[in-house]
Structure 1
Amino acid sequence: MLNHKSDLPAPEKPGTAPRRRGRVARREARVAAGREKVPQALRRIPAYTLLDEESLIAIEEQADWILSRIGVEFRGDDTALALFREAGATVEGARVRFDPGHARALCATAPATYRLHGRDPDRSVTLGGDHVVLMPGYGSPFVTDLDRGRRYASLEDFRNFVKLTYLSPWLNHSGGTVCEPVDVPVNTRHLDMVYAHLRYSTKPFMGGVTAPERARDSLDMARIVFGGFMDSHAVIQANINVNSPLVYDGTMSGALRVYAAAKQSVAISPAIFGGAMGPVSQPAVIAQTLAEGMVGIALAQLVRTGCPVVLGSFHSTMNLKSGALTFGSPEANLSTMALSQLGRRLGVPVRSGGGQITAANSADGQAMQESSMAMLTSILSGANQIWHAAGWLEGGLTMGYEKFVMDVDHCGMLLRLIEGLVVDDESLAREAYLDTGPGENFLSTRHTLRHFEQANYLSALPEAGPYETWLEQGSRTAEQRANGCWKAMLAAYEAPAIDPGVDEALRDFIDRKKSSLPERWHE
């Protein structure tokens, strides 16, 4: 046993630390350029358990009461109604009701965990268990940056955010409608978006859901890339929004059935704003979310047994004086924690109700406060997939370039948090105490030299520096420093390789589809 300085090997020569710092810088550059693949995060700290068994059972019974007494309507989808009728549910017109426990029983064939595959196998992720998947914002019609301000999103913006997501080591999923490219027609927009995900990234992604035929187009494009692999593996994901309260329209349930028939991943996402789409009390919102989610999962299982699903939610409180939505509120965050518990009891992966969401109009203190609260809650809740983890502003109306960079940096911090602590001989560092002594620093100990590269999370944002230096360099805020960061990332972007024949087939598919459809800018 080593118990004295003389028993230890000689310290490393001077100059080692600077060379290691050089290696750190080079590694950071590789990560920033998307050339270094950071493994998917695995939770090593326990998820927060907010509710006790009695409370969980009460909420599950309330969900059953909603489904048996009130029911859920499927409007414009006779096929879905027929499936539920054949499964033993009570169907009256468009209304479907379930005996207590019936909807939950129909969900039992959904897998607790599964792989969602990327074009690059090393980018594939696991949904469920202790695995965590982060993805960027979704659905914003506007974008903003410090140079050009707020404007309608374009296809160029969409591609930029796909590229930035690909470059981010902390986002495991390319997302879906990262922003809404309003400069291309609505009825062909999905083709351009799916192509961008497949061409400019190799991470898992979401396809179109705004019509069943667009869902089929998305699957056809994925099949061009993945071929027969799709027959037995999930390679694309659908976001199915419930028209809360308690309504699935034919567009959403139709798209759900298309993805489920192909046994692709389906995320069911009730969207309940307390006081508008549900009661103002959070336990009621939680129970309604569970009820609506179980029905969507049940439909997916009736279409294709074993269809991979995610129980999702998007819930928020409201300012009941003005009617404005609020984000990052303590009440909504409590619901996030409870829904993760309920999803684990249901036995399916869980999507968090919100990532770095905010009502703020710019990446200011309000934005970071609300975003940080919502994101920290999502991480601690045990959610498996966290949407809107980067870029969200203005209640989801806007994707911010600077906000995206700031959020991604925060994602890295939180993923480091859930790694937890390893307490062993090496981390207790007795050797370091033997290398130095009372009143001396630990910077040159062998323990420090072995671990300094990975000891602490290193922010990707340029440092502000001491006050005097910060002042001399223009007193740049974090948002201003992030402005240069996203520009540098896009300048360093290199498109991932793709088989030329596959790329040609994708382009040919898009050209044929576009030529067969009239231009429709509004639907």
Structure 2
Amino acid sequence: MARKRMRSRPSPHGPNPEKVAKITQPSWTLPPYEIATTEQLQTLHDKSMQILEEGGIAFYDEESVRILEQHHVKVVDQVAYFDRAQVMEYLAKAPSQFIWSGRNPEHNVVMGGDHVVFAPVAGPPFVRDLDNGRRDGTLKDLNNFIKLSQTIPYLHSLGAEIVVPADVPIAYRHLETMYSLLAYGDKPVMGVYHTGPIAVDTLQMTKLVYGEETLRQQHVLHSVVNVSSPRRLDDRMLGMLIEFARHNQIIDVTPFILSGAMGPVSILGTVAQLNAEALAGIIFAQMVNPGTPCIYGSFQAVLDLQSGAPVFGAPESQLALYLSAQLARMYNLPFRAAGAYASSKIIDAQGAYESVMAMYPSLLVRPNFVLHAAGWLESGLTAGYEKFILDCELLGMYHRYLQNVSWEEDEWAMEAILHEVPPGGHHLGSSHTMRHYRTAFYRAELFDYDSAEAWEANGSVDAVQRANAKYKRLLRQYEQPKLDPAIDEALRDFIERRKLEL
């Protein structure tokens, strides 16, 4: 089933963001971390096929049932039963790699292969910062986070609804959100897509900006289809999936499983179910429109069986992630991995440990897409301004990590080792050091490396306070990408017209 994938060259950007005009999309050069043998992976695949054949997946949508039946899928009481031959036939129609286009072509990114895309948190109803604490999100907050995502080079997409603007009436909230995504940045966007009708509005607004022909030929929107585990797709998700697939836009099928609640407490049982659910959504998208670009997503956490709360960064989740990534590679599908998840309500030691324990294992599996890579707090209920900035600091480190080791001749520093620095000497003044000292190491802007005395003399400012100052500075420095005034007027006219209709 697996097909050989070509190795890409390392990303050419340097390690110091202050010295780089533009950070390019990184490429994987390190091998993936894998925990299952070929035989074990085949067994996992077979168990998922058994779930699809004998247990089935519920499709709670009449149009979806008709599409399934037209493609000779057995459906009983809205439960679809797929045989493994059907699964592999339709999986083969999904591309292994494609371009995700932004309003500015310079920001286009490759999805799949040896490439990775980082995108911000999506969906929290609350925001938090040092100045105001936790509160409802507003349209201003949404715009602020979009501006930060546009400005910070380590985020390659503006994402989706980074925070829910509670001050906008729900009937047309999606319109204002989509306008902000299109107007305040020119990186690739995901869009707003909670239901079929909302997806239609999103597509119409996108056509006004990109043009109908571009939307037909390129992949400019990216939807997330969350399977309502266990083994169920509802009419909201299916309606949106159908609209996006018919327009050849990206479908990210991501089962949301809390082991112990929506999935078994065992790792293997959870992954077998997750795999069956993800494959069902992907092959359904291929039935709607063969060749629809799809992403195999994995969102798995565990349920604390004492409190009933979700636990992020658990070791069991990372083991499940490793297996899911191996399956996606076996199917030759782009893979989405975990972001900087945290159950913590604030930026504390718990939040830091959880986020690193979620993100770093994700890097080990060589994902192609990482959603929620910055800003996630309180199990996804809150977008934190300072958390956003600190997460992006880590993304900068990860960009350097992904460059791997350069094997250029100058990297050996043999002139300095053999002729300039004697035994017991130092390299501080060597010609090699002087050539590279500005860019040799990634230097985290928000971390303090001074002595304790110097740190105290400078006000004992901690990383969260520095992040607070940085997000405000970035917002002051933000420059809005140009948008044709005629297009902007067309967007506002569409929004005002739809407000009257909704």
Q: Common fold, TM-score beyond 0.5? A: yes
Q: Contact 2:74–2:81 at 8 Å: present in 1 too?
A: yes
Query: What count of residue pairs does the alignment treat as equivalent?
Result: 487
Give the aligned residue type for 1:97.
Answer: Y
Give the aligned residue type for 2:138.
Answer: S
Give the aligned residue type for 1:215.
Answer: A
2:318 corresponding residue in structure 1:
333
Distance in 2 between residues matched to 1:53 and 1:208, nearest whole Å: 39
Q: Contact 1:209–1:240 at 8 Å: present in 2 too?
A: no
Distance in 1 between residues matched to 2:464 and 2:227, nearest whole Å: 35
1:404 corresponding residue in structure 2:
388
Say yes or no: does 1:343 pair with 2:328.
yes
Distance in 2 between residues matched to 1:208 and 1:165, nearest whole Å: 17
Say yes or no: does 1:226 pair with 2:210.
yes
Q: Contact 2:181–2:191 at 8 Å: present in 1 too?
A: no
One of 201, 223, 226 as aligned partner of 1:217: 201
One of 333, 356, 361 as aligned partner of 2:345: 361
1:479 corresponding residue in structure 2:
464
2:231 corresponding residue in structure 1:
246
Counterpart of 1:73 in 2: which secondary structure?
strand
One of 261, 275, 279 as aligned partner of 1:294: 279
Deviation of 1:212 after TM superposition, in Å, equals: 0.8
Deviation of 1:103 after TM superposition, in Å, equals: 2.0
2:26 corresponding residue in structure 1:
41
Q: Contact 1:464–1:476 at 8 Å: present in 2 too?
A: no
Deviation of 1:464 after TM superposition, in Å, equals: 5.5
Deviates more, 1:309-318 or 1:423-432: 423-432
1:20 corresponding residue in structure 2:
none
Say yes or no: does 1:378 pair with 2:351.
no
Counterpart of 1:351 in 2: which secondary structure?
strand
Deviation of 1:223 after TM superposition, in Å, equals: 1.1
Distance in 2 between residues matched to 1:396 and 1:171, nearest whole Å: 18
| Max Rg structure | 1
Counterpart of 2:373 in 1: which secondary structure?
coil
Deviation of 1:138 after TM superposition, in Å, equals: 1.2
TM-score, with structure 2 as normaliser: 0.94
Counterpart of 1:356 in 2: which secondary structure?
coil
Counterpart of 1:270 in 2: which secondary structure?
strand
Deviation of 1:462 after TM superposition, in Å, equals: 5.6
Distance in 1 between residues matched to 2:420 and 2:205, nearest whole Å: 60
Counterpart of 1:41 in 2: which secondary structure?
coil
One of 78, 90, 97 as aligned partner of 1:106: 90
One of 371, 385, 390 as aligned partner of 2:374: 390
Counterpart of 1:126 in 2: which secondary structure?
strand
Distance in 2 between residues matched to 1:43 and 1:219, nearest whole Å: 32
Deviation of 1:460 after TM superposition, in Å, equals: 2.6
Q: Contact 2:17–2:23 at 8 Å: present in 1 too?
A: no
Say yes or no: does 1:491 pair with 2:491.
no
Q: Deviations over 1:192-251 (max 9, x none)?
A: 111111111111111222221110111111111111111111011111111111111111
One of 434, 438, 441 as aligned partner of 1:456: 441
Deviation of 1:73 after TM superposition, in Å, equals: 0.7
CA distance 1:79–1:48, change in 2 (3 Å): same
Deviation of 1:41 after TM superposition, in Å, equals: 0.8
Q: Contact 2:390–2:446 at 8 Å: present in 1 too?
A: yes
Deviation of 1:454 after TM superposition, in Å, equals: 2.4
Counterpart of 1:373 in 2: which secondary structure?
helix
One of 164, 167, 174 as aligned partner of 2:148: 164
One of 461, 467, 482 as aligned partner of 2:452: 467
RMSD: 1.6
Q: Contact 1:200–1:496 at 8 Å: present in 2 too?
A: yes
Distance in 1 between residues matched to 2:85 and 2:132, nearest whole Å: 54
Deviation of 1:102 after TM superposition, in Å, equals: 2.2
